[in-house]
Amino acid sequence: SPWRATVLTLFPEMFPGPLGVSLAGRALASGLWQIEARDIRASATDRHRSVDDTPAGGGPGMVLRADVLAAAIDAAGIGPERPRLLMSPRGRPLTQARVVELARGPGPLIVCGRFEGVDQRVIDARGLEEVSIGDYVLSGGEIAAMALIDACVRLLPGVMGKEASGTEESFSDGLLEYPQYTRPQLFEGVPIPAILTSGDHAKVAAWRRAESEALTAARRPDLWEKAANRGSGQKTPKN
Ligand code: SAM
């Protein structure tokens, strides 16, 4: 069966949203992957259908209830082979390596938080892996879930054309991608770098490698250091 994302959210109407358009949308329409958005509120049990309550210990905002969320997770009927993720700014930052793993598997369950977050006991009791998409705070986990799903879907077999294999992209070798150019040959007086139109494939490859390394060293010293330690960077870090 195709790769599948099961999303638990208070706003199922947000899905597939942008994932229904362009590359991911065409792949969804042709059955290369599936998405199921399930309403957490359907698992609420009191007569107000409440899903949240005030934080124990005080403080602002509301917290998603453990009992309601646990019931929603259990009702999703997720087998042990599927990763269970919770989108969370406290999570381990998402990397391309984790995306590749998730894309190779059967597809995750993804819990989208709202408010101040979710009761810690459900994270522990259902073994949720907290995943962050960056050091900033969104108002809910839905857009974070969409980012994760989009990153996975484009790697699924048959989704990207053969012209874009994903093997030369940013992070695929631990480095940022080299600059890209296309026609026109002259833009506001600036030509395409001559090497790229020379037809010399070895020179093009060497130029791209050098540009990748320079960009990574300048913008992402953290990545550059790792690449150098792995021996993937040919030079030692410049600073
Ligand atoms: N009080 C929480 C904190 O300080 O960690 C922030 C909660 S945030 C307003 C509401 C929800 O948005 C979170 O439970 C999470 O699901 C989602 N979210 C916000 N920022 C995120 C990020 N950088 N990565 C992944 N999910 C995020």
ipTM for this prediction: 0.99
pLDDT at 69: 98
pLDDT at 36: 98
In this chain, the answer to whether the domains covering 3-153 and 167-239 adopt an identical fold is: no
Q: Where are the domains of the chain?
A: 3-153, 167-239
* Cα pseudo-dihedral 181, 203, 226, 180, rounded to 10: 0
pLDDT at 231: 72
pLDDT at 239: 43
Probe residue for ligand 1, chosen from 62, 88, 139 as the CB with the greatest number of ligand atoms within 8 Å = 88
Within the chain, which residues score under 50 in pLDDT? 233, 238-239
Decide whether any atom of ligand 1 lies within 6 Å of the 87 Cβ: yes
The distance from CA 134 to its chain's CA centroid, rounded to whole angstroms, is 10
pLDDT at 162: 67
Decide whether any atom of ligand 1 lies within 6 Å of the 96 Cβ: no
pLDDT at 169: 85
Residues 116 and 61: beta-carbon distance below 8 Å: yes
pLDDT at 238: 45
**Domain covering 3-153: architecture:** 3-Layer(aba) Sandwich (3.40)
State both tokens at 21: 């358009």
pLDDT at 154: 98
Decide whether any atom of ligand 1 lies within 6 Å of the 174 Cβ: no
Name the CATH superfamily for 167-239: tRNA(m1g37)methyltransferase, domain 2 (1.10.1270.20)
125's enclosing H/E stretch is: helix 120-125
Residues 203 and 195: beta-carbon distance below 8 Å: yes
